[in-house]
Amino acid sequence: MRVIIAAAGTGGHINPGLAIANKIKEEEKDSEIIFIGTDRGLENDLVPRAGYELKRIEAYGLSKEISISNLKKICKTLRATGKARKIIREFKPDIIIGAGGYICGPVVWAGKKENIPIILHESNAFPGKAVKTLAKKANTVLISFEEARNRIPHAKNIVFTGTPVKIKKIDYSKETKEKKLKEINLKPELPTVLIFGGSQGAQKINEAIIGILGDKLNKDYQIIWATGPKQYDIIKTELSKKNIDITNVKNAHIVPYIYNMEEIMNLSDIIVARSGAMTITEISNLGKPSILIPLPNVSQDHQLYNAKVLENIGAAKIILNNELNKDNLNAEIEKIAKDPKLMKQMGEKALLKSVKDVPDKIYKEIKKIVKK
């Protein structure tokens, strides 16, 4: 099978694209797969690191704002369609897969002109502009949440598959969990709260945690906190002003970045995080109660809609970014941490949104179209 995957910008688009590519290679080892992205996003690191070739075009998300800058971006994106068409003609794919985001525009338009079958994958509960606009050009749109179905009115065919993620549920024994927590100077008897704000951290969340630690509010729970690499030294300074050594905080393990995220998520009892599509999927798959702080000012508030998927079934609590502070975050953590029954119920409800065999379902839909 010869496949082009369009994925650019953030891990939320690129990682599902890579997971789909890996599944195709697993099933058909002779497959040839290339990615199309830009020279600006995370694809420049993630795609070559995963062993795939990345072709670059200059595409941008389009805004309704009338400005010279935006007109230039429109012109560049239109020209990118021609470049994408050249790549398609040379590579001769059997199918084009768009993983969402602005890069899909020129690649899908070019693919349609070359009569190549197209699949779009939408990770969010509230579909992005690209998928909604391009849905009528696609043979099939794959969705990660049933809540997205009625929000893509022009699609010819919609299939619920879920989002492929690396993180899986691990049932650690009590002894193993205790050992791993002690290795990072945490206590097995206290509920463990994992806090992160994406790969770069989240300032608003970090400010609330500084307040919690500064006022020593985490007496009844302990924290594993990924600050984000760029914010770690700033937080170290802020904590030192409160006479707190970042490397020796009671009931807390603080790091710039968590490299063993699957292990840490499985060790944790409660998760505090943003609500990107992949995070919601991971929380669901692990069956963890969560407190979600949607990233504001992102396209069509899609993180809020993602968070509502879990809040609406009683698996999560949402705190809006502009309302977040140390007191209300601590109150919500304590409410769950001090009530084992509630913690268990929320986790069980989160599991209801878990989707099994996601890569198999996506591969099945790809094969259907390629065979035709």
The answer, yes or no, to whether residue 60 has pLDDT greater than 70, is no
71-75, 258-262, 359-363: least confidently modelled range = 71-75
The pLDDT value recorded for residue 361 is: 98
Share of the chain above pLDDT 70, in %: 94
CB 107 within 8 A of CB 98: yes
What pLDDT digit, counting tens, does each position of 292-310 carry? 999 987 767 889 999 999 9
2-163+356-371 domain in CATH 3.40.50.2000? yes
**Tens digit of each residue's pLDDT (9 = 90 or more) over 252-288:** 999 999 999 999 999 999 999 999 999 999 999 999 9
Query: Is domain 174-351 given the CATH code 3.30.360.10 in the classification?
Result: no
More confident residue, 16 or 80: 16
* Lowest-pLDDT range of 4-8, 128-132, 267-271, 339-343: 128-132
Q: Does residue 226 surpass a pLDDT of 60?
A: yes
pLDDT tens digits, one per residue of 141-167: 999 999 999 999 999 999 999 999 989
pLDDT higher than threshold 60 for residue 171: yes
Write the pLDDT tens digit of every residue in 322-331: 999 999 999 9
> Band of the pLDDT at 40, cuts 50, 70, 90?
confident
Q: CATH 3.40.50.2000 in the chain, residues? A: 2-163+356-371, 174-351
**Mean pLDDT computed over 184-199:** 93
Greater confidence (103 vs 344) lies with 344
Query: Among 49-53, 72-76, 115-119, 217-221, where is mean pLDDT lowest?
Result: 72-76
pLDDT > 90? residue 80: no
Whether the predicted model's global pTM rises above the 0.75 cut: yes
Structure tokens at 3: 């496949």
| Region of poorest pLDDT, from 20-34, 247-261, 294-308, 336-350 | 294-308
- Kindly tell me if the per-residue pLDDT of 214 is higher than 80: yes
The mean predicted confidence, pLDDT, of the chain is 93
Calculate mean pLDDT across residues 308-320.
Answer: 98
The 3-state secondary structure of the chain reads CEEEEECCCCHHHHHHHHHHHHHHHHHCCCCEEEEEECCCCCHHHHHHHCCCEEEECCCCCCCCCCCHHHHHHHHHHHHHHHHHHHHHHHHCCCEEEECCCCCHHHHHHHHHHCCCCEEEEECCCCCCHHHHHHHHHCCEEEECCHHHHHHCCCCCCEEECCCCCCCCCCCCCHHHHHHHHHHCCCCCCCCEEEEECCCCCCHHHHHHHHHHHHCCCCCCCEEEEECCCCCHHHHHHHHHHCCCCCCCCCCEEEECCCCCHHHHHHHCCEEEECCCHHHHHHHHHHCCCEEECCCCCCHHHHHHHHHHHHHCCCCEEECCHHHCCHHHHHHHHHHHHCCHHHHHHHHHHHHCCCCCCHHHHHHHHHHHHHHC
